[in-house]
Amino acid sequence: MKAARFKADIAGGSLKLQESRIVARLLLDNASPDEWKRAIADENVLQKRSPGTAMRQASLLRARLRTMGPALWQLVADGSKETATHALFAAAVKHSPLLAEFLDHVVREQFRAFKHDLPRRLWIEFVEHLHDKDPEIPEWNESTVNKLGDTVYQILAEAGFITDTRKYILQPVQIAAEVMAYLRENGEDSVIQRLQVAL
């Protein structure tokens, strides 16, 4: 894996269902740069405290969604809460190698070992392992590592893999059929592998 793949941008936000529905609709409407800025910064459709915050979060959510195609955006914009959340989870996995690798190597191992929780120390150990594996990976300070962990664990909770955010209790998740169908039809085998960590 190349070091450049591992970025801290996931810390910019969890799945953000309501905001992502709005961004997905803008993508489906093929909003121009001016229309995008007017909606996000001027009209504050994401209801953020400042235009800068709104633009940064919208850019992250748009980047995630753009890893997939319009059919998935439609699931985000108009699907049930569960379907839209699982669609966003799939996009986040594809967009963030950090999240994908954590699922593949740490969360999967917990399920394989019949462990019922996902202690936060496993995140710290995972990041340390990445640095040992490839020293070219950015040296994040403790605050950044913790913030990244907060976001990753929040995403896992939103997707249903963690049921207790204090004890980090794990549970298997059956991904919505519409999302799985989209992923299969579009050859997203790597994403499917990461979503099926409990199998």
Work out the average pLDDT over 59-78: 97
Residues 6+ apart with CB under 8 A from 47: none
H/E run at residue 193: helix 189-195
Check pLDDT > 60 for residue 4. no
Cα torsion 91, 81, 20, 27 to 10°: value is 80
Q: What is the pLDDT of residue 100?
A: 95
Q: Is residue 139 very low, low, confident or very high in pLDDT (cuts 50, 70, 90)? A: confident
* Ramachandran category for residue 113: left, alpha or beta (phi over 0 → left; psi -120 to 50 → alpha): alpha
What is the tally of helices (H) and strands (E) in the chain?
Answer: 11, 2
Name the phi and psi angles at 173, rounded to 5.
-125, 130
Q: What is the pLDDT of residues 142-191, one digit of tens each?
A: 998 999 999 999 999 999 999 977 889 999 999 999 999 999 999 999 99
What's the pLDDT score for residue 3? 41
Local structure of 63: helix, strand or coil = helix
**Each residue of 112-139: b (16+ CB within 10 Å) or e?**
eeeeeebeeebbeebbeebeeeeeebee
The ranges assigned to domains in the chain are 16-66, 92-195
d(CA 175, CA 30): 28
Choose which CATH entry (1.10.3540.10, 1.10.10.10, 3.40.50.450, 1.10.1200.10) describes domain 92-195: 1.10.3540.10
Can you give the pTM of this predicted structure?
0.93
